[in-house]
């Protein structure tokens, strides 16, 4: 419970000591008091149309700490929902802020807090409006680095303009589901771009006079050295957005026109974990579940950066976690905390590398070991030794498809006979953008378009495909959200023999497809036929990978 909630509990306990004995909850006693005072009871605020002019004069910090919210205005009076019917001071202050008479109605605490988060988080386009207002106004920006941001929704009037602007940009990026925010310095200003569903989209272009102020503010928030402009730096920002806690991983590098900053948004509330929610085809799903239940061996997940590899591994671990299984991970960095699992973050400055950490993990009697990424031969060798000594090892690798993972490890210097006896499965994956459901429309494709995916017209329902027309909800992109595309290569006897004989990716692919592996392109074609994504989207993420026909 937060400080505001504790204050309310204390007030109620002083008036009604039976609460301490556990006879009633805080909401129960407050509702009872409200009835005694003849106050109107309002258990749900969804029916009220809360416009900005109602709450724009009430600071978020005041409304949150006192658990109050104005819900309706009529003439010279405003109706205010309160969680504590005996607290009169906030009402008096609101009367002064609004310049109107205030009528109080009772509403449960949780309902008010949820509504506060919703209404103070609706300022779409606020960053653009603020930038437009800054065009003819120059500020010196002094002292802004001293402001500590605790909650993105807390926009006090005394905050420096650059602080407010950064808060609005971060809030807007989170609202739009961005995974990264790019601040790119150019000759005449700064480009602010959001990566949404894997694609960068330009959002703002502040004038050059604000470039240094914005970059300095971000460096202060992420505890970087603001005087250092010649060397790359890394940092982290931990912020709140109402009840949500969101981490930002920050990276800055010196470029020709200044310093370029990228913020990776790590929103725990936005992560979908669970193998059954990954979108695998039924056969691949069942095969993968069998693999992660095996007592030993190596499972690899491959794909480019941002293809969801770590999420797949987290979901796999979540499927096997129990009190009987000791699971340990080593990651760079630990992006999301998982319950019941020992997670180690790589720290190269003190020589805690993947290889060094992995050696210590193996002395901790693990059953399942997850390695964030196999980057070098030393890590690969320890992973193989761990597998040979009875551990299930899961890791990621940067390759285009599943068969190429074997070739990559051989190129690193791993003996093929070791790979054939330890690797039990390789999954390649990509993320394709989903067609926006709000502007989805059907169309008749030409044969050349669908031929690229190996689809024939008779396979299509009503000979139609789907695409997004573009609307406000998807920011005119035609896409909203993402879906996984998977290719699972289970290492059977035929593949083991081929790995020892010649670990050639093309030969491995042919044998895997003969054994029933469905390629990334084939899975993508299924999603196109189901109307989940488009032909161009599948081709974008699978370009350069053979269909294996």
Residue-wise DSSP of 421-468: HHEEEEEEEEEEEEEPTTSEEEE---HHHHHTTT--GGGSGGG-EEEE
Q: What is residue 130's predicted lDDT score, i.e. its pLDDT?
A: 64
Instruction: Please state, in angstroms and rounded to a whole number, the distance separating the CA atoms of residues 266 and 245.
Output: 9
| Crossing angle between the packed helical segments 26-36 and 109-119, to the nearest 10 degrees | 100
Question: Where in 116-213 does DSSP place strands (E)?
Answer: 178-186, 189-196, 199-204
Q: What is residue 277's predicted lDDT score, i.e. its pLDDT?
A: 83
Q: What is residue 507's predicted lDDT score, i.e. its pLDDT?
A: 93
Q: What is residue 128's predicted lDDT score, i.e. its pLDDT?
A: 64
Is residue 415 helix, strand or coil?
Answer: coil
Q: What is residue 263's predicted lDDT score, i.e. its pLDDT?
A: 93
Residues 6+ apart with CB under 8 A from 32: 24
Instruction: Please state, in angstroms and rounded to a whole number, the distance separating the CA atoms of residues 51 and 102.
Output: 17
- What is the pTM for the complete model shown? 0.69
Q: What is the pLDDT along the chain (549 residues), one digit of tens a residue?
A: 445 444 444 444 444 443 343 344 556 788 888 888 888 888 888 778 777 777 777 888 788 888 888 888 888 888 899 988 888 888 888 888 888 888 889 988 888 888 887 777 665 556 666 666 665 444 444 333 333 444 566 655 556 778 888 888 888 888 888 889 999 998 888 899 999 888 898 888 887 778 888 888 888 888 888 888 889 998 888 887 777 778 888 999 999 888 999 999 887 666 667 888 888 999 999 999 999 999 999 999 999 888 889 889 989 998 888 889 999 999 887 877 788 889 998 888 888 888 888 989 999 999 999 998 998 899 999 999 999 999 999 999 999 899 999 999 999 999 999 999 999 999 999 999 999 999 999 998 888 888 888 888 777 877 888 999 988 888 888 998 899 999 999 999 999 999 999 889 999 999 999 998 999 999 999 999 899 999 999 998 887 665 444
Residues 6+ apart with CB under 8 A from 10: none
* Cα 41 off chain centre by: 38
Instruction: Please state, in angstroms and rounded to a whole number, the distance separating the CA atoms of residues 60 and 66.
Output: 10
Phi, psi of 331 (to 5 degrees): -135, 160
For the chain, what is the largest distance between any 2 Cα atoms, rounded to a whole number of angstroms? Answer: 87
Instruction: Please state, in angstroms and rounded to a whole number, the distance separating the CA atoms of residues 113 and 126.
Output: 22
CB 168 within 8 A of CB 126: yes
Q: What is residue 31's predicted lDDT score, i.e. its pLDDT?
A: 85
Q: What are the percentages of helix, strand and coil residues in the chain, rounded to 5? A: 40, 25, 35
């Amino acid at each position: 419970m937060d400080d505001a909630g504790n204050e309310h509990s204390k007030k109620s306990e002083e008036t009604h000591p039976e609460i301490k004995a556990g006879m009633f909850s805080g909401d129960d006693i407050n509702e009872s008091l409200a009835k005694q005072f003849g106050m109107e009871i309002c258990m749900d605020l969804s029916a009220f149309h809360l416009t900005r002019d109602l709450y724009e004069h009430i600071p978020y910090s005041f409304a949150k700490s006192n658990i109050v919210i104005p819900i309706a205005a009529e003439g010279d009076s405003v109706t205010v929902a309160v969680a504590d019917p005996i607290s009169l001071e906030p009402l008096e202050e609101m009367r002064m802020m609004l310049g109107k008479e205030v009528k109080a109605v009772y509403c449960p605490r949780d309902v008010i807090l949820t509504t506060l988060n919703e209404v103070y988080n609706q300022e779409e386009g606020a960053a653009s409006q603020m930038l437009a207002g800054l065009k003819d106004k120059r500020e010196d920006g002094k002292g802004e680095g001293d402001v500590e941001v605790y909650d993105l929704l807390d926009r006090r009037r005394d905050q420096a303009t650059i602080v407010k602007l950064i808060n609005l940009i971060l809030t807007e990026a989170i609202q739009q589901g961005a995974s990264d925010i790019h601040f790119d310095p150019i000759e005449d200003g700064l480009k602010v771009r959001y990566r949404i569903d894997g694609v960068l989209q330009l959002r703002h272009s502040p004038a050059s006079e604000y470039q240094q102020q914005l970059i300095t503010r971000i460096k202060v928030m992420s505890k970087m050295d603001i005087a250092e402009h010649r060397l790359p730096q890394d940092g982290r920002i931990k912020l709140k957005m109402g009840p949500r806690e969101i981490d930002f991983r920050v990276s800055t590098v010196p470029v020709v026109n200044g310093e370029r900053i990228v913020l990776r948004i790590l929103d725990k509330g936005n992560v979908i974990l669970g193998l059954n929610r990954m979108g695998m085809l039924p056969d691949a799903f069942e095969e993968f579940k069998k693999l992660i239940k095996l007592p030993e061996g190596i499972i690899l997940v491959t794909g480019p950066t941002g293809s969801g590899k770590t999420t797949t591994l987290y979901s796999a671990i979540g499927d096997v976690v129990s009190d009987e299984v000791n699971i340990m991970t080593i990651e760079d960095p630990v992006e999301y905390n998982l319950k019941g699992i020992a997670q180690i973050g790589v720290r190269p400055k003190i020589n805690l590398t993947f290889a060094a950490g992995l050696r210590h993990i193996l002395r901790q009697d693990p059953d399942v070991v997850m390695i964030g990424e196999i980057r070098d031969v030393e890590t690969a060798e320890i992973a193989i030794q761990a597998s040979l000594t009875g551990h299930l090892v899961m890791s990621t690798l940067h390759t285009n498809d599943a068969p190429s993972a074997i070739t990559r490890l051989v190129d690193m210097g791993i003996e093929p006979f070791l790979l054939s006896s330890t690797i039990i499965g390789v999954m390649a994956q990509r993320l394709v953008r989903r067609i926006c459901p709000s502007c989805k429309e059907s169309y008749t494709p030409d044969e050349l378009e669908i031929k690229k995916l190996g689809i024939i017209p008779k396979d299509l329902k009503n000979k139609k495909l789907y695409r997004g027309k573009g609307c406000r909800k998807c920011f005119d992109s035609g896409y909203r959200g993402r879906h996984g595309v998977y290719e699972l290569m289970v290492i059977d006897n035929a593949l083991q023999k081929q790995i020892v004989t010649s670990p050639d990716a093309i030969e491995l692919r042919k044998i895997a497809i003969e054994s029933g592996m469905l390629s990334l392109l084939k899975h993508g074609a299924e999603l196109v036929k189901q109307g989940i994504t488009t032909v161009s989207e599948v081709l974008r993420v699978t370009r350069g990978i053979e269909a294996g026909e």
